[in-house]
Amino acid sequence: MAGIALLLLVATLYIFGAQESIEEEPKSTDTVMEKGVDLMENISFTGGDPDKGEKWVLNAKKVRVSDDQTVYSGIDFGFKLERRDGTHIELQGDKANYDGNTGEIFLQGGLKGQTSKGYRIVTDHLVYKGENGYLVTDAPVKIFGPFLSVSGQGLYFNPEEEILRVLSEVTTLIDRKWVTL
| Domain at 22, CATH number | 2.60.450.10
pLDDT at 31 over 70: no
Q: Which has the higher per-residue pLDDT, 140 or 65?
A: 140
Per the structure, the complete domain to which residue 154 belongs is given by: 2-178
Mean pLDDT of 161-170: 90
Task: Please name which of 113, 124, 41, 122 lies closest in space to residue 82, comparing C-alpha atoms.
Answer: 113
pLDDT digits (tens, 9 = 90+) for 58-114: 999 999 988 888 888 999 999 999 988 888 899 999 999 999 889 899 999 999 999
Backbone angles phi, psi at 82, to 5 degrees: -130, 140
pTM of the model: 0.72
Total domain count for the chain? 1
Identify the pLDDT of residue 139: 96
